[in-house]
Amino acid sequence: PFPAALDDCVAAYRGLLDKGIAAKSIIIAGDSAGGNLTLTTALKLKELGLEQPAALICLSPATDMEGFESRRSNIRGDAMFTAEMFPTLVPLYCPGADPENPLISPWRGDVSGLPPTLIQCSAIEMLRDDSIYMADKMKHAGVEVTLEIWPKVFHVWQVMADILPEGRKAIDKIVTFAKERLGQ
Q: Which residues are catalytic?
A: 32, 125, 155
Q: What is the DSSP letter of 52?
A: P
Q: Which residues contact 141 (CB under 8 A, 6 or more apart)?
A: 110, 111, 112, 113, 114
Judge whether 100 and 67 are in contact, CB under 8 Å.
no
Question: Do 55 and 117 contact (CB within 8 A), yes or no?
Answer: yes
Q: Which amino acid is at 126?
A: M
Strand-strand pairing, 117-122 and 145-150: parallel
Interior/surface letters 42-79, b for 16+ CB within 10 angstroms, e for the rest: bbbbbeeeeebbbbbbbbbbbbbbebbebbeebeeebe
